[in-house]
Amino acid sequence: MEYHQLGTSDLHVSTLSFGCMSLKGTPSENATLLRQALAGGINFFDTADLYDQGGNEETVGKAFKGVRDQVILATKVGNQWRPDGSGWDWNPGKAYILQAVEQSLRRLQTDYIDLYQLHGGTLEDPIEETIEAFELLQQQGKIRYYGISSIRPNVIREYVRRANLVSLMMQYSLLDRRPEEEVLDLLQQHQISVLARGSLAQGLLLGKPAKAYLDLSAGQVAKMASAVQALATQDASELALAVQYVLQAPAVATAVLGVRTREQLAQLLAAARAAPLAPQQVAMLQQLLPAATYAQHR
C-alpha cells in the first residue's frame, strides 16, 4: 500500500481507503472487516454522523478501540436529524457544528477527529460562520484538520478562497470526469487533496449491465466498460484500472471505496498493488468519451 500526504497536513493516507457507509453486517462482522482492512494497509476510514443516525460512527469507534493511534478517522457534519427521526435538514451553522462534534467524538470513542468535513454546502450558507466553527474546533484540539464534501464548483471555489482546507471529497470516475474541467487543477495549485468517491461508478465499470449515467447514455457507458475490460489483465483487474485512473490525477490522495465483504476487501487490496496506468492508457480512456459538464449537474 502506498500513502499520500493529505494536503498540507501531516496526515499520510493510504491510496485506497474504506468508505464505512457500506457496512451492513453485524457489529462483530463489521469490526472484523475494519480490522482486516487496517491489517492490509488501509489506514483511512471515512464515516459521517448522518449514516445510520450515528450508528455508523459507533461501529467504527468500537472497531478501533485500543488501536486509535493506528488509524486516520474522518467524519462529516451538516445534516441534522429531526427529533422524530423522519429525516434530516441541512444545518451548517456554527452552533450546530460545535454541538454535533461532541456527539461524533463520543460515538467514535476518541478525543479528536483527524479530518472533520462539511457534508455538502451551498452559496447561501453562512460560510464564514461555518469556517469559524471548524477553526475553533481545530484550536481546541477536537479536530486536527478540516475539509468539505462537495461537487459544486462555485462552493468549492469559495471554500478554497476563504478556508484552510486540506481536503475535498468529491465524485470522480471514468464515467464522471467533471472534476477534470477546472477543480482538480485549482485544488492542486492550492495543495488541497481530493478524496475521490464513486470511482467505480456504481459498478458500471465492473461488469454490471450498462444503463444511463449522468448525461451518458447506456451505449456510452457500455463503451467505456468494454474499454476497461479490454485493458484488464491478470495483474490489473477492471477494479484496479478504474481506481488507478482516478489515482493518476496529481490532486487525488485516495480513492474512498465501500466494502461489505471479505472478498471485496481482498479485491480492493489487490487493486492497491496494481501498476499505475501508462500515459497512453490514460489518454486512450479519456478520448473515448467527452467529460460531463458541471452546468448539467449542479
Partners of 19 in the beta sheet?
46, 258
With 0-12 / 13-18 / 19 or more C-beta atoms within 10 angstroms meaning exposed / middle / buried, residue 26 is exposed
Q: Give the integer Cα–Cα distance in Å for 200 and 210.
A: 13
How far, CA to CA in Å, does 71 sit from each of 14, 19, 193? Answer: 10, 14, 18
Q: Give the integer Cα–Cα distance in Å for 90 and 276.
A: 39
**What region does 140 belong to: left with phi over 0, alpha with psi -120 to 50, or beta?**
alpha
Catalytic residue among 3, 51, 172, 213: 51
With 0-12 / 13-18 / 19 or more C-beta atoms within 10 angstroms meaning exposed / middle / buried, residue 68 is middle
CA 33 from centre of chain: 19
- Beta carbons within 8 Å of 242's beta carbon, 6+ residues apart: 173, 174, 199, 200, 201, 205, 206, 228
Tell me the helices (H) and strands (E) count for the chain, helix number first.
Answer: 10, 12
CB atoms within 10 A of CB 127: 19
Instruction: Assess whether 116 carries a catalytic annotation.
Output: no
Catalytic site positions: 51
